[in-house]
Structure 1
Amino acid sequence: MARFPSSPAFWRSPVRGPRFTSVLGLVLLAGMSVLFVTGLLSYAAYNPDLSQVNDQTPDKGLLGFYLFAWPTDPHWLYRLTQGVHVTLGLALVPVLLAKLWSVVPRLFALPPVRSLAHALERLSLLLLVGGALFEFVTGILNVQLDYAFPGSFYPLHLYGAWVFLAAFLAHVVLKLPAALRNVRALRAGLEEGEEQQAVSGTLLAPDPDPPTMSRRGAFWLVGGGSAVLFGTSVGRSFDGPLRETAVLSPHGGPEPGTGPNGFQINKTAAYVGIDPREAAPEAWRLVVTGRSGTVRLSLAELRRLPLHSAALPIACVEGWSTADQWWRGVRLRDLAALVGYDGPEDPPDVLVDSLQRRGAFRRAALRGNQVGDARSLLALDVNGEPLSADHGRPARVIVPAAPGVLNTKWVTRLDFGAL
C-alpha cells in the first residue's frame, strides 16, 4: 500500500518525538535570543543614524528605537559581542537542522488548515522557518565573504531578524508550555506509551522502523556537530595558538605574515583598487575640514604633530578579530582642533573618506564620543613600523570598540562637523 507524506505512517523514524523536539526547541530559544540581542548590538555599533553614511537601510522607523551612541569602553566590546554572535550562530546550525527535521511531518499534515487559529499558527511557522533559514544562510555567506544575495547584507539581515523575531515570539507563546511539559516528562523518565498519552499532537511514529540510533545518541550527534563547528571557528576571536584551530574561517589559521604588519586583514589594497601613486608618501595629502576652514597636511607634516600610541584590536562583522596591536599616530581630537573644534563643547562627528575605489564603506562616519576618545587615532604606524599598504598606508583610522569597517584604511579626507 502506497504511503504519502501526509500519512503519519510515512514517517517511521523512531527518533522523532515531542521530547526530542522540545529539547532542541529550548536550546534554540536560549541561543537565538542571544543571537538576536548581539545582532542588534552589532547594528548599533555601525552608527547607522549618521546621515545614512554608514547604513543604507531605508525607513527603519520603529525598528531603530534602541539605537544609541556606541561606547568606546571597554575597547574589546565589539570583539566580544560580534565574536559571540557569529560563533554561536555557526554552532547552532546542527541544532536548527535537527529541529526542522524533527517537525517535518507536520508540514505535510492534512487538512492544511483546520481553523482560523490553526491557520495563524501555520503562518507563524512559515515566517519562523523562512526567517531562520534566511538569517542563517545570509549570515554564513557573509562570514565566508561570499555575497551571493541581492542587495546589501546589513538591511537584509536587519529586516529578516525582525520578521523572524515576530514569528519566534508567537511560536514561543504557543509552544513553550508544551515544551516544558515534554522536558519534565523526559526528566521523569516516562516510557514512550506514557509520553504519547501525556502529549497531544505527538510526533511519535505509529509504525516505527527498527532503531539504528537511540534518541540519546541523536542528541550526542547534534551536540557533537555543534561542538565541531564551535571548535573550528571560535579560535579566530582569540589570540595565540588557538587561532590556528579556526580552519573553517576565512581569517582563521596562522597569521598571514611575519613582522609588525603580519596580522589579519579583510581586504587588500589591490582588491579595493588603491592606486599606489596616490598612496605614495610624496604625493599623498590629508584634507581636514571643519568650523574654521580647511587644512592640508603631507605625511611629513602629520608626523611633526604630537603622536600618541594605543593598544587596540580590529574586530570585524564576520566575527574575526586580531589581538591588540600597538598603533601610533595623531589623535582624531587633535586633528579636529586644527579646524576649530578645540573647546569644552562635545567633539564633532567626522566623515572619513578613503582612497579605495571598490567595495563598501569607501566613506564612513564616527560619532563625537569616538572622536573625543584619547585612543582614537589617525594611525601612521603599527607595532613600531609604518603601516603596510594592506593595513592602510599611509594613514588609517583606529577607534576603540568600533567595527572594523569603521576603522577606515587609506584615509584621504576628514570632514569634522559635516553630519
Structure 2
Amino acid sequence: MRDDDPRLPTSPGFWRSPLRGTWFTSVLGLVLLAGVTVLFLTGLVSYAAYNPDLAPVNDQTPDKGLLGFYLFSWPTDPYWLYRLTQGLHVTLGITLIPVLLAKLWSVVPKLFALPPARSLAHALERLSLLLLVGGGLFEFVTGVLNVQLDYLFPGSFYPLHFYGAWVFFAAFLAHAALKTPTALRAVRGRHTEERPPVPAPPGAGQSAAVPADEGGLASPLPDPPTVDRRGALWFVGGGSLLLLVTTAGQSIGGAWRRTALLAPHGWADPGGGPNGFQINKTAGYAGIDPGQTAEGAWRLVVTGRGGRTVRLSRAELLRLPQHSAALPIACVEGWSTADQWWRGVRLRDLAALVGHDGDPPDVLVESLQLHGAFRRGALRANQVADPRSLLALRVNGEDLSPDHGYPARVIVPAAPGVLNTKWVARLTFGEL
C-alpha cells in the first residue's frame, strides 16, 4: 500500500472527522496552556512543602541538582495553604482530562504523518511532540492512579512524578513557543470553519487532496458533520465540568464532600463522633501492634542537645501544659478535612525539655509504623516554633482513635498530611 492510500493512518484521507481543524485544536491548546502552567507551578510548590532539601528522610527527588533551585522554607501561614495549593493541583488536573484527550484526538493525524522528519527543525518539532504526548499521558495517568488508589507507587511516586513533570513541561514549553502564534491567529480570526480543501490535480484521485487550513488538521475527505466544532467544545467543557463537580468536594470538605462522587475521599465523612473524619492509612494497614500503643508499653523518646534524652508516657505528656489548635489535614491526593480541634503539647515545649530553649531547631519525627515512605519525617525549625504545631493527644474533645494516630501524632499548620506523622515513637531535635 502507498502512504497516500486512504486505508492507512499515514494518509490524510484516513482521518475523516469534520471536527478537526486549526480553530478547534487552538482553543483546546490555549486552555491547556493556562491549565498545565498552573498544574506545573502548584506541583513545584507541593515539593517545597515536602521539604526535600531539609533531610534525606524527606528527600524524594534524588540528586536534585539544578532542579532544586526553587526550594524554600515552607511557611505555616496561612494554615490552609497546602490544602489550597494541592487541592487546586489535583482538582484542576482531573478537570483537564477531557481537554487533554480532545486535544490529542484533534492532532492524532500529525503523529502518523510521513516523512517523519523533513528537516532538522521538523525533526526537533516531532521529538518535542513525542515527549509532549508521552509526558502528558504519563503525568496524568500516574497522578490519577495515585489519587484514586492511594499509595499505588509507594516511595516512588514522588520522584517519578517530579522528573516526569520536568520532561513534560520542557516539551510543553517548546511546543507552546512553536504553536501559540498560530493558535492565537486562529482564535482571533474565529475560524470556526476551515477553508475548503485545495482540489486535487486532475487524475490524482481524492486521496491527493490537501487541506488548506494553516495547521493542516482539517480532513481533505470529511464525513458529513453530526455536530459542529462549537458543539464539540461544549461537549468537552461539559465533561470537564462534570469531573469538577464530582471531585472538588473532597478538597473543599464540609457538605461539599457529598458531591465528590468520583473521588475516593468523597461522599460523607466516615463513621461518626469526634474521630469521624477522613484518613489515608488505618492502624492495621500501617502494621501498628495494639500492644505497642498500650498505656503501660508506649513511651515517647525525645532527644535533643548533647544527646539529652527523656522518655515520657502518655500520662506524663497529659500533665505537661496543653494547648489547642484548629487545623485541617490536607494530603497529596487532593483531599482534606475540615478544621479539627486538636489538643496536646507544643513541639517547641518538647524541644525545651531536651535543652533547646529559645529558638527550637529542626526535628526528625519517627513513627511506630513498620512500612511506608514517610515512616520518618522531618520538620523545619519554623514549623517546630509555630505555637499551633502540636504533638496531639486528643481531637475534638476525645482521645485520638488508633486510626488517627493514638497514642500521639504530630499536627502542623499548612504541612502535607504525611508530615503530620501518626503513632509517634521518637522526636529528635537538632542537626538532621
Q: TM-score, normalised by structure 1?
A: 0.96
Q: In structure 2, do the counterparts of structure 1 residues 267 and 151 end up closer, same or farther at CA, with 3 Å as the change threshold?
A: closer
CA distance in structure 1 between the partners assigned to 2:139 and 2:318 by the alignment: 46
- Secondary structure of 1:193's counterpart equals coil
Alignment of 1:82-121 (within 5 A): 82-121=86-125
1:239 paired with 2:257, answer: no
Q: Which amino acid aligns with 2:325?
A: A
Q: Which amino acid aligns with 1:378?
A: L
1:111-139 Cα offsets, whole Å, 9 max, x none, are: 11100000000001111111111110110
1:281-327 Cα offsets, whole Å, 9 max, x none, are: 22110000000500011111101100000000000000000000000
- Secondary structure of 1:414's counterpart equals strand
Q: Which amino acid aligns with 2:195?
A: G
Q: In structure 2, do the counterparts of structure 1 residues 240 and 56 end up closer, same or farther at CA, with 3 Å as the change threshold?
A: closer
Q: In structure 2, do the counterparts of structure 1 residues 4 and 173 end up closer, same or farther at CA, with 3 Å as the change threshold?
A: same
Maintained 8 Å contact 2:154/2:372: no
Maintained 8 Å contact 1:290/1:418: no
Q: Which runs of 5+ in 2 are unaligned?
A: 199-210
Kindly state the Cα deviation for residue 237 of structure 1 after the two structures are TM-superposed.
1.0
- Secondary structure of 2:77's counterpart equals coil
Aligned residue number for residue 3 of structure 1: 7
1:355 paired with 2:357, answer: no
CA distance in structure 2 between the partners assigned to 1:289 and 1:180 by the alignment: 60
- Secondary structure of 2:109's counterpart equals helix
Kindly state the Cα deviation for residue 418 of structure 1 after the two structures are TM-superposed.
3.7
Aligned residue number for residue 194 of structure 2: 192
CA distance in structure 2 between the partners assigned to 1:150 and 1:238 by the alignment: 26
Q: In structure 2, do the counterparts of structure 1 residues 338 and 151 end up closer, same or farther at CA, with 3 Å as the change threshold?
A: closer
Alignment of 1:253-402 (within 5 A): 253-292=267-306, 293-343=308-358, 346-402=359-415
1:132 paired with 2:136, answer: yes
1:166 paired with 2:204, answer: no
Q: Which of 106-115 and 317-326 deviates more?
A: 106-115
Q: In structure 2, do the counterparts of structure 1 residues 54 and 191 end up closer, same or farther at CA, with 3 Å as the change threshold?
A: closer
Kindly state the Cα deviation for residue 239 of structure 1 after the two structures are TM-superposed.
2.8
Maintained 8 Å contact 1:351/1:418: no
Q: Which amino acid aligns with 2:277?
A: F
Q: Which amino acid aligns with 1:317?
A: V
Q: In structure 2, do the counterparts of structure 1 residues 298 and 372 end up closer, same or farther at CA, with 3 Å as the change threshold?
A: same
Maintained 8 Å contact 2:6/2:13: no
Aligned residue number for residue 218 of structure 1: 232
Alignment of 1:8-47 (within 5 A): 8-47=12-51
CA distance in structure 2 between the partners assigned to 1:198 and 1:2 by the alignment: 18
**How many residue pairs end up in the alignment?**
415
Q: Which amino acid aligns with 2:241?
A: A
Aligned residue number for residue 208 of structure 2: none
CA distance in structure 2 between the partners assigned to 1:65 and 1:23 by the alignment: 33
CA distance in structure 1 between the partners assigned to 2:62 and 2:252 by the alignment: 35
CA distance in structure 2 between the partners assigned to 1:149 and 1:378 by the alignment: 29
Kindly state the Cα deviation for residue 247 of structure 1 after the two structures are TM-superposed.
1.2
CA distance in structure 2 between the partners assigned to 1:191 and 1:357 by the alignment: 61
Maintained 8 Å contact 1:18/1:203: yes
Maintained 8 Å contact 2:60/2:159: yes
CA distance in structure 1 between the partners assigned to 2:318 and 2:83 by the alignment: 30
Aligned residue number for residue 230 of structure 1: 244
- Secondary structure of 2:164's counterpart equals helix
Q: Which amino acid aligns with 1:160?
A: G
- Secondary structure of 2:268's counterpart equals coil
Kindly state the Cα deviation for residue 383 of structure 1 after the two structures are TM-superposed.
0.4
Kindly state the Cα deviation for residue 359 of structure 1 after the two structures are TM-superposed.
2.0
Q: Which runs of 5+ in 1 are unaligned?
A: none
CA distance in structure 1 between the partners assigned to 2:322 and 2:403 by the alignment: 22
Q: Which amino acid aligns with 1:106?
A: K
Aligned residue number for residue 411 of structure 1: 424
Maintained 8 Å contact 2:197/2:220: no
Kindly state the Cα deviation for residue 201 of structure 1 after the two structures are TM-superposed.
3.6
CA distance in structure 2 between the partners assigned to 1:267 and 1:239 by the alignment: 19
1:121-177 Cα offsets, whole Å, 9 max, x none, are: 000111111111111011001101255559600000110011011111111111110
1:375-399 Cα offsets, whole Å, 9 max, x none, are: 0000000000000000000000000
Aligned residue number for residue 69 of structure 2: 65
- Secondary structure of 1:100's counterpart equals helix
Q: Calculate percent identity across the aligned residue pairs.
A: 77
Maintained 8 Å contact 2:6/2:12: no
Structure 1 segments of 4+ aligned residues over 6 angstroms from their partners: 194-198
CA distance in structure 2 between the partners assigned to 1:190 and 1:216 by the alignment: 8
Q: In structure 2, do the counterparts of structure 1 residues 61 and 272 end up closer, same or farther at CA, with 3 Å as the change threshold?
A: same
Q: TM-score, normalised by structure 2?
A: 0.93
Q: In structure 2, do the counterparts of structure 1 residues 190 and 383 end up closer, same or farther at CA, with 3 Å as the change threshold?
A: closer
